[in-house]
Amino acid sequence: MSTIREGDQILIITERGKRYLVKVSDGKRFHSSEGFIELGELIGREYGSMVVSNTGSRWRIHRPDLTDLIMHFPRLTQIIYPKDLGFIILHAGVGPGSRVLEAGTGSAVLTAVLANYVRPEGIVYSYDVRQDYLENAKRMLERVGLAEYVILKQRDITSSDVDETGLDAAILDIPEPWRAVETCWKALRPSGRLVSLSPTVEQVVETVEALKEKGFSDVQCVELLLRNMRVKRGMTRPEFLMRAHTTYIVVARRSSRE
Amino acid sequence: MSTIREGDQILIITERGKRYLVKVSDGKRFHSSEGFIELGELIGREYGSMVVSNTGSRWRIHRPDLTDLIMHFPRLTQIIYPKDLGFIILHAGVGPGSRVLEAGTGSAVLTAVLANYVRPEGIVYSYDVRQDYLENAKRMLERVGLAEYVILKQRDITSSDVDETGLDAAILDIPEPWRAVETCWKALRPSGRLVSLSPTVEQVVETVEALKEKGFSDVQCVELLLRNMRVKRGMTRPEFLMRAHTTYIVVARRSSRE
Amino acid sequence: MSTIREGDQILIITERGKRYLVKVSDGKRFHSSEGFIELGELIGREYGSMVVSNTGSRWRIHRPDLTDLIMHFPRLTQIIYPKDLGFIILHAGVGPGSRVLEAGTGSAVLTAVLANYVRPEGIVYSYDVRQDYLENAKRMLERVGLAEYVILKQRDITSSDVDETGLDAAILDIPEPWRAVETCWKALRPSGRLVSLSPTVEQVVETVEALKEKGFSDVQCVELLLRNMRVKRGMTRPEFLMRAHTTYIVVARRSSRE
Amino acid sequence: MSTIREGDQILIITERGKRYLVKVSDGKRFHSSEGFIELGELIGREYGSMVVSNTGSRWRIHRPDLTDLIMHFPRLTQIIYPKDLGFIILHAGVGPGSRVLEAGTGSAVLTAVLANYVRPEGIVYSYDVRQDYLENAKRMLERVGLAEYVILKQRDITSSDVDETGLDAAILDIPEPWRAVETCWKALRPSGRLVSLSPTVEQVVETVEALKEKGFSDVQCVELLLRNMRVKRGMTRPEFLMRAHTTYIVVARRSSRE
């Protein structure tokens, strides 16, 4: 795990900060806009090593974390960004052993993260209406070694119930989450958590109103803004550009209906 | 787990949104500024139920998650807020099985969250200079059932090394993190992650400069802003007040020194 | 203007940062929670001087600007904050000589600022439905010496037209600005600017849709966030709390209807 | 002023939102990436009219405000953005009749705005070390009809005093503003305002410390974040990208030295 081996997935970070996920294969070259390196020459070197491309650009070779891997999944849908992923995991109360509902599977970025954190005893039930998304998810989860913690199902949860009950959490990343609130209520255990992601204010209003009407309490809505700082002694300042919006996050707790 | 039992820790959320963590004890009353309830009357009811205080205030009784529990730990030090906790876990690459260094232990809020996410095979080595903080941490970790995943040690890691090597991640929440960079480099595995938390810009500059000099790469600094939305059909807007700053978060990867 | 005289309005800033607007009157004392001073002893001293209260608290005496004066107007309504006032003036294209419509007058904070910037040739027509607000506005404008640049009128501009035409700008701070769009279109000159202030998203949606339908173009909506930095060598950081929301600002230009 | 005439400066806003400042000249075409229009055909039409380019793109023709004009000045230096300009004007206490010091002149964006708001009795003394910036400023101020309100001087105010005294405000947009604090103190009237702009934290720290030491009080530092909302019924959300940082703004009041 400490040294680079044939067949490893590696993360290359170039001098200009570009990131590439590459499989080490002796005899192959990896080309970027900053030159190329011979992948075979990496074998046996320690992770974190520097290599110099043929054009003199200095690159770092790192062992990728799950966060690196998911950011390189094919983006079939708008993905969920890391700044939001950590918040979701924590506020959904997801941890080792959790039984979690997810809809939709989409690009499987959140699916993989959920799978990672319910290990080894928990399980993620991930629903999507589109078979092609589920097939992509299966491939991606296998690639990152998390397929055994996920059961993928092709179904529209806004028009039919799910098979599971007593779940710890439900995470919705679908266009009309308010139409899945009833299904989630039935699937969740008492005090189970619901987290719903939507980019627009109107979606959030519909969702929050549905949650309050249909047996959820402690309903809150937040958004997270990530601001990068450029840190250099004597020249420290916030970065000039930032992603100003990804998604609103609605959180709630399943309550009794009374 | 679905119904409230004698001895359970419960989360009470009052009509005005106040939160209390209370132990259920038959024959006892719980008093707040919104009246009182008889705790014994909760026994046997489902989590998520509503109760009405003697003054007519409507309260929800929920089963607390780890996030609820840690927010009620005694605040011996400035605590780390949930918005930052999820980001730290994810960007430190911490998951089931991780071996993690933490310094300092402080109020043990982050310690508990780390412990929760390294379960069941991983371990957290948590160092603090103050014996009283460590004793509080021991009590809190026992209370939340996570003590077996943490080894607490009384030591100043800015003046001496730690006992561990090959760790997956190191999390620093100390006043002078730049003085612990060397210790962390020795303790981390190749490509292991370092995360450092500091409230001021000057601390961040010192830390980032030390990391770049002493064998870390992919060094980044961010801050997370959490904005609450007040969602109500026809009256939706951001909340008027927000916590504008908690901490800067520096992340880096251990590299070879060359 | 450089030295404090009997009868001057002065701005007192106490050691803890409290601000008071006070009229200098020989023989009177000014009391705050940080002690008192004799106002007569200020006469003849230079603006910017320090005085020490009877309890040893160090206060600064400044000559107030318009911004200081308006922040001490009676707050009959939600006022517009300085961070938004400057933006409004600039984006409404208001300057010396401008002829401007304002509705509603409210606490007259914006009225006073508009009056200040249209001087000496311009004029502000300020409408409100409430006679008591208009009377307060008259008093406040006289107090700050700007009454001659404002014509106050009691009328509901959402149900009837205004008397003016060919105006350079219209500023709306009313609950249902979309109902005044037609009136503003008639009152504005070609390419004249409309600025509308609303705290909620739903109000903004109604307003923007009405503007696009009824002859306005280049319609934009923004919000301004003001973040205070606590600057102190070695301890610099953003302030922990901030006002996260005051109002959305919609800006548009009057267009031909085609 | 209401209809477009030969020789007018006009603002063209294309269907995709591109903005061009163009001089109307009969017989000439204006080309953009969205096709071309015949400028002569605009003559006699009302401002705010729509024209259709040869490729069917729908453009609006507006009469430019000062804010439009300054955004098209040649950007010889980092310019000051409109979100900051309004704040500066207001917090510098600048209004009709003000006598204001500015350094440096730079691209003359702020110079023009200051000139506009001190009209007709006030004056702006604008200093820069670079003769080429001053020559550009002269051209730009003439173009927007504000040259008579500005006196441009070639001098480094960090190494020598200015000629003026008793000024109402001083605005600094120079790399080392702390070196001009003494000069500003001498030039300002009692309680006169100083506003200083710097992009980095380290500059702000130096400036604030110098101000506190050298006779200024009520020293504050802020930054303004402008967030654009994409407003469309059913699809309203913040824009995905934003300018996260332009400059920190330090404000202070001249005090007596005691």
Q: Looking at the complex, does the CB of residue C190 fall below 8 Å from at least one CB of chain B?
A: no
Q: Which of A202, A196, A194 is nearest to A174 (CA)?
A: A196
pLDDT (average), residues B72-90: 95
Extract the tokens encoding A251. Answer: 């959180």
Task: Closest CB to D2: pick one of C62, C189, C215.
Answer: C189
CB C194 within 8 A of CB C184: yes
Determine the pLDDT at residue A258.
Answer: 75
Q: Which of D147, D1, D148, D151 is nearest to D65 (CA)?
A: D1
Cα gap C238→C242, rounded to integer Å: 9
Cβ–Cβ contacts within 10 Å for residue D46, how many? 17
CB D238 within 8 A of CB A245: yes
pLDDT grade for A141, boundaries at 50, 70 and 90: very high
What distance in Å separates residue C227's CA from the closest CA in chain B?
A: 8
What distance in Å separates residue A152's CA from the closest CA in chain D?
A: 30
pLDDT (average), residues B202-207: 98
For D246, name the nearest residue in chain A, comparing CA atoms only. Answer: A240
Can you give the three-state secondary structure of chain D, one letter per residue? CCECCCCCEEEEECCCCCEEEEECCCCCEEEECCEEEEHHHHCCCECCCEEECCCCCEEEEECCCHHHHHCCCCCCCCCCCHHHHHHHHHHCCCCCCCEEEEECCCCCHHHHHHHHHHCCCCEEEEEECCHHHHHHHHHHHHHCCCHHHEEEEECCCCCCCCCCCCEEEEEECCCCHHHHHHHHHHHEEEEEEEEEEECCHHHHHHHHHHHHHCCEEEEEEEEEEEEEEECCCCCCEECCEEECCCCEEEEEEECCCC
Q: Please, which residues have CB within 8 angstroms of residue B63's CB and are 6 or more apart in sequence?
A: A190, A191, B1, B8, B10, B11, B47
What are the Cα distances from residue C175, in Å, to A41, C97, C129, C167, D126? 69, 29, 12, 22, 43
Determine the pLDDT at residue D258.
Answer: 75
Tens of pLDDT, residue by residue over A167-191, are: 999 999 999 999 999 999 999 999 9
Range 100-159 of C in CB contact (< 8 A) with B: none
Determine the pLDDT at residue B258.
Answer: 75
- Check whether D70 has a pLDDT greater than 80: yes
Look over chain B and give the mean of its residue pLDDT values, rounded to a whole number. 97
Interface partners of chain C (CB pairs < 8 Å, 3 or more) are B, D
pLDDT (average), residues C94-112: 97
Residues in chain A, overall count: 258
- Check whether C93 has a pLDDT greater than 80: yes
In Å, how far from its chain's centre is CA C127? 15
Determine the pLDDT at residue A104.
Answer: 95
Tens of pLDDT, residue by residue over C13-56, are: 999 999 999 999 999 999 999 999 999 999 999 999 999 999 99
Look over chain C and give the mean of its residue pLDDT values, rounded to a whole number. 97
- Helix D109-118 to helix D82-91 angle (10° resolution) is 40
Q: Domains in chain C, start-ordered, CATH in brackets?
A: 9-64 (3.10.330.20), 68-254 (3.40.50.150)
For C258, name the nearest residue in chain D, comparing CA atoms only. Answer: D50
Determine the pLDDT at residue D253.
Answer: 98
Residue D167 gets the label, from left (phi > 0), alpha (psi -120 to 50) or beta, of beta
Tell me the ipTM for this assembly.
0.96
CB A133 within 8 A of CB A76: yes
pLDDT (average), residues C149-162: 97
Q: Looking at the complex, does the CB of residue C227 fall below 8 Å from at least one CB of chain D?
A: yes
Tens of pLDDT, residue by residue over B28-59, are: 999 999 999 999 999 999 999 999 999 999 99
Cα gap D146→A177, rounded to integer Å: 56
Q: Which of A183, A200, A185 is nearest to A245 (CA)?
A: A200
Task: Closest CB to B201: pick one of A46, A113, A236.
Answer: A236
Does the distance separating the beta carbons of B236 and A93 come in below 8 Å? no
CB D62 within 8 A of CB C218: yes
Cα gap D15→D18, rounded to integer Å: 7
Does the distance separating the beta carbons of B2 and A190 come in below 8 Å? yes
pLDDT (average), residues D7-24: 97
| Percent of chain D clearing pLDDT 70 (strictly above) | 100
| Percent of chain B clearing pLDDT 70 (strictly above) | 100
User: Which one is predicted more confidently, B1 or C190?
Assistant: C190
Cα gap A103→A180, rounded to integer Å: 9
**A249 by DSSP, 3-state: which?**
strand
pLDDT (average), residues A206-213: 98
Suggest the residue from A241, A245, A246 to mutate for an interface test with chain D (most D CBs closer than 10 A).
A245
The position carrying tokens 């303004």 is D224
Burial A228-237 (b: 16+ CB within 10 A, else e): bbbbeeeebb
Task: Closest CB to C200: pick one of B200, B236, B241.
Answer: B236
pTM listed for this prediction: 0.97
Look over chain D and give the mean of its residue pLDDT values, rounded to a whole number. 97
Task: Closest CB to D245: pick one of A202, A237, A243.
Answer: A237
What are the Cα distances from residue B224, in Å, to A225, B248, C42, D25? 6, 8, 47, 52
Extract the tokens encoding A21. Answer: 């996920």
CB D93 within 8 A of CB C65: yes
Cα gap C182→C96, rounded to integer Å: 26
- Check whether B197 has a pLDDT greater than 80: yes
Tens of pLDDT, residue by residue over A70-93, are: 999 999 999 999 999 999 999 999
- Check whether B177 has a pLDDT greater than 90: yes
Cβ–Cβ contacts within 10 Å for residue D149, how many? 21
Alpha-carbon Rg for chain A, nearest whole angstrom, is: 21
The position carrying tokens 């490893």 is A8
In Å, how far from its chain's centre is CA A211? 24
- Check whether C258 has a pLDDT greater than 90: no
| Percent of chain C clearing pLDDT 70 (strictly above) | 100
What distance in Å separates residue C197's CA from the closest CA in chain D?
A: 14
- Check whether C1 has a pLDDT greater than 90: no
- Check whether A200 has a pLDDT greater than 90: yes
Extract the tokens encoding B71. Answer: 């927010």
